[in-house]
Amino acid sequence: MSSFRKALKSRQKNHQERSQPGFRKHLGLLEKKKDYKLRADDYHKKQNTLAALRKKALEKNPDEFYFKMINSQLQDGAHAPKKAKDEVVEVTEEQKKMMRTQDIKYVEMKRVAEAKKIERMKGELHLLDADSKQKNSHTFFVDSKKEVQSFDLARHLKTAPELVDRVYNRPTLETLETKSIQGAVRARSMKTMAKQRKHQYTILSQRIDREKKLFVISQKIQTRKDLQDKNKKVKVKKETPNAPAIYKFEAKRKR
C-alpha cells in the first residue's frame, strides 16, 4: 500500500496558479488566495476595532471627568501633560552643589579606572622602547684622546655590534656562546611581535591622554562648584583647554 502511495505521489503534479491573462494585464497582478486572505484579515480586524470603539462610546458615562482631560494634549499621537507658560524650573543652590558633586564623582571614578589600566599596561610593557620615552645617555670615561678616537662600543660592552643599539635584552658574547636562544628568532616572528608591541604602546599613549583630559574635566567641575560659594573671589588665571581657571578667595573665618 505504501509503494502504491509513493507511486501515486510521484505522478502527481505540483499545483501552479495561473497568472493574469494577457487581455487583463491592464488590471495589474492577479490576486491569489493568500493575498485575499491577508486583505480580508486586515479588513475584519479594522471592523472589529471600530465595533469595540462604538460599544465603548455607547457605554461611556457622560458625567465622567478626569483632570487629565484638560491638563494633557496629544503629541505625536500620545497624550502628554501640558506645560504652563509661566512654569519655571527652579533649582536651589544645595541641589546644584549636589549635581556638581555627582558629576565630579563619576568623572573621578572613570579617571581612577583609567589610571589603574595605565599602571597595569606600564607593568607589562616596561616602556623600554617607547617612542615618547626620554632617551637615556650613557657616558664612558677614558684616559686620553687617542682612546676616544679608537673607542669601540661593542667591544667595551662585550656584545655583538648588531645588539649595540638595543636598550634591553642585550646579551654578552659569552652568553651567546654558552646558552641557547629562547623565544622568537625568525625575522617574521620578531616583526610581528614588534608590530604588536607598537600597537600596545599606541593604546597606552591614548589612555594616558584620556586620563589627563578626565583630570582637567574634574578640576574644572570642582572650580565651578567652588564658585557657587558667596565668598569674594578674584580671577588670577583664565581657563584654558588644558587647565581650569584659577581664583583667589578671600580668607573667611568659619564659625
Is 188 within the bounds of a domain? yes
Name the β-bridge partners of 247. 235
Find out whether 61 and 54 touch, Cβ atoms under 8 Å. Answer: no
Q: What is the pLDDT of residue 126?
A: 62
Provide the b/e sequence for 224-249 (b: ≥16 CB within 10 Å): bbeeeeeeeeeeeeeeeeeebeeeee
In a domain, 85, yes or no: no
Residue 201 lies in a domain: yes
Predicted pLDDT of residue 44: 97
Q: Quick check: is 250 in a domain?
A: no
The letter for the amino acid at 202 is T
- Phi/psi for 103 (5° steps) reads -65, -45
Query: Among the residues of 126-186, which ranges form H helices?
Result: 145-149, 153-157, 173-178
Residue 155 in any domain: the answer is yes
State the burial class of residue 204 (Cβ atoms within 10 Å of its Cβ: 0-12, 13-18, 19+): buried
Contact 129, 196 (CB under 8 A): no
Q: Is residue 10 part of a domain?
A: no
Q: Give yes or no for a contact between 57 and 185, defined as CB atoms under 8 angstroms apart.
A: no
Q: How many residues does the chain have?
A: 255
Cα dist from 252 to 230, 245, 255, whole Å: 11, 21, 9
pLDDT at 84: 64
The confidence score (pLDDT) of residue 96 equals 64
Q: Is residue 104 part of a domain?
A: yes
Beta strands 78-81; 72-75: pairing state: antiparallel
Rounded Cα–Cα distance for residues 231 and 158 (Å): 68
**Domain interval for residue 161:** 93-127+143-222
Domain-embedded: residue 19: no
Residue 93 near residue 228 (C-beta atoms within 8 A) = yes
Instruction: Quickly count: other Cβ atoms within 10 Å of residue 205's Cβ.
Output: 14
Residue 110, all three cell numbers: 572613570
22-41 burial: b if 16+ Cβ within 10 Å, else e: eeeeeeeeeeeeeeeeeeee
Does the reported pTM lie above 0.85?
A: no
Q: What pLDDT was estimated at residue 43?
A: 97
- Domain count within the chain: 1
From first to last of its 255 residues, the chain has per-residue pLDDT tens of 567 676 666 666 676 777 888 888 888 888 888 889 999 999 999 999 999 999 999 998 888 888 888 888 888 888 888 876 554 445 566 656 665 677 888 888 888 999 999 888 887 776 555 554 556 677 888 888 888 788 887 777 778 777 777 666 677 777 776 776 665 556 677 778 778 888 888 888 899 998 988 888 888 888 888 887 777 888 888 888 888 888 888 877 776
Element (H, E) at 74: strand 72-75
